Amino acid sequence: MSFIYELPTPGMVNFYHLLTDPTGSRTGQLAAANASRAAMRTTLKECKRSVGPINWVRVVRALEDYLPHLLGIMKSLEIDDLLMPNEVVFSWRSTLSSRRLKSAPRISLSSFHYELAFVLLTLAFAHSNTAETTIASIGQYELGSETDRRAGDEKLTTAVDALCRASGIFDYLSSQTIPNWEASQPEGGRLLRQSRPPELSSELTAGLAKVSLADAERLAVRRLLSRSVMEHHTTPGAGLPKSHPSPGLLAKLQLNIHTLYSGAFDSLSLVISGSGANAEVSGAFRDYLRDGRQFSLGLGYKWLGIDAGEQSSRYAEAVGWLSLARESLKAVGGGGRTMVVVRNGAIKSERARKKGKTEHELDEVDRFMKAYEQINRTIVVIMKVTFEAVPSSGSLLSRVPGGRAALSPRAYTLPTALQRDFGSNYTPTSGDIAESDEEEEGGGGVDPQYALRDYYY
């Protein structure tokens, strides 16, 4: 399952009071932008307070509704239809930063590029969370009827699409929005890189794009396996079902997922090793990447082993690959773990509640390993041939094939800037401006939820 991002929340801004309309023709535009931003802010704060299911589609819509208004303000400032007597300061609560205090840090910067970057970042987070909610709703759908399987596959497709959208937005942030922001700053953004939150660095957003794509590819592999999982559940037996995809193909798909998670982890390391007080990233997110790359590597080795055993009858080699798979899977969840506090202060322990996906995969690896070891010994007795030694780890690792991509990010383009006036009689109302800039005390400033670290589907 995917990482659950805690959404950032913005501070209050009133464009109507901070910008000057020299011709008096942009009153409606400013008021509409205020109303749209206030609606977005209210929606994000409701998400933070919520203890139940969140309507992520509504969150995505609120963010997408505000973007054209924000771009319209930026365009009007560029052509002097609006003037900015003083720098407008935007503040957002950073939620992917590592923090020692209960409350998430609020970081204030005077740039419309900062506002745009955080809105896009939050939009990508919301798309990713939409996918996670969709997957959580279908459960182990492969164990039901054919109708259930088809319906579950359709929902998987929807979740994959949401993650590819998120990946495209993260990629746009890394390649377009953030470089443009840095180019607009004195000294090429050197001081900016020390003051902005880590999630608004080109390195980390590039890593986030890889994470979303890796999450999407995991779901694509699950969809590819759904028919064979259902067949095996209906008619269990030794070996692979007839409908099972090629183990060699599955190995390459998992190895590509491993490459994506590893690339994201490397990007994260660049941010952590960077200078500046804000160069820290949530430990829960680091754990997610570490576990993701170990788990996908273990599955890649597992399928290489099954391919050697089932397709080529190279049983000793199969045992070697499965030994490597077992080693990698056992490393999932190892090392220093981050205690994750979620809403209401509850500690979620999925490992204690039920058997995780990692343990299931280890059981399957052990089952195939024992079978191949037995076959290898039987061949020696019956055929009276020399026992085939298990290849060394070094010789196997030198033959690991390259990965194979299953998906690509969905390219993102900004919406058209909304510059038209909404009427000179349009004046701000109490609904256009948030009433308070105070953040709620309860439930804020916790690490993003990573309660399902053992479940990689």
Q: Is residue 189 part of a domain?
A: yes
Q: What is the pLDDT of residues 88-142, one digit of tens each?
A: 999 999 888 765 445 567 899 999 999 999 999 999 999 999 999 999 999 889 9
Q: What is the pLDDT of residue 381?
A: 52
Q: Is residue 333 part of a domain?
A: no
Please tell me whether the overall predicted TM-score, pTM, comes out greater than 0.85 for this model: yes
Q: What is the CATH number of the domain that holds 86?
A: 1.25.40.280
DSSP secondary structure letter of residue 445? S
Q: Is residue 384 part of a domain?
A: no
Least trusted range by pLDDT, from 122-131, 171-180, 378-387 = 378-387
The percent helix, strand, coil of the chain (3-state, each to 5) is 60, 5, 35
Count, residues in the chain: 457
b/e per residue 165-191 (b: at least 16 CB within 10 A): bbbbbbbbbbeebbeebbeeeeeebee
Query: Does residue 405 register a pLDDT over 60?
Result: yes
Q: What is the pLDDT of residues 74-86, one digit of tens each?
A: 999 999 999 999 9
Q: Is residue 375 part of a domain?
A: no
Task: Name, in order, each residue with C-beta under 8 angstroms of 278's C-beta and a sequence gap of 6 or more.
Answer: 94, 97, 105, 107, 194, 195, 196, 197, 198
Structural domain including 40 reads 1-245+419-434
Strands (E), 58-115: 90-93, 106-109
CA 419/CA 433 separation, integer angstroms: 20
Q: Is residue 186 part of a domain?
A: yes
Q: What is the pLDDT of residue 280?
A: 73
Q: What is the pLDDT of residues 315-345, one digit of tens each?
A: 999 999 999 999 999 999 875 544 443 443 3
Q: Is residue 389 part of a domain?
A: no
Q: What is the pLDDT of residue 435?
A: 43
Number of domains in the chain: 1
pLDDT band at 237 (very low <50, low <70, confident <90, very high): low
Least trusted range by pLDDT, from 108-112, 173-177, 297-301, 433-437 = 433-437
Residue 15 in contact with residue 76, Cβ under 8 Å?
no
Query: Does residue 183 register a pLDDT over 70?
Result: yes
Q: Is residue 405 part of a domain?
A: no
Q: Is residue 161 part of a domain?
A: yes
Task: Name, in order, each residue with C-beta under 8 angstroms of 16's C-beta and a sequence gap of 6 or more.
Answer: 27, 30, 31, 34, 428, 432, 433
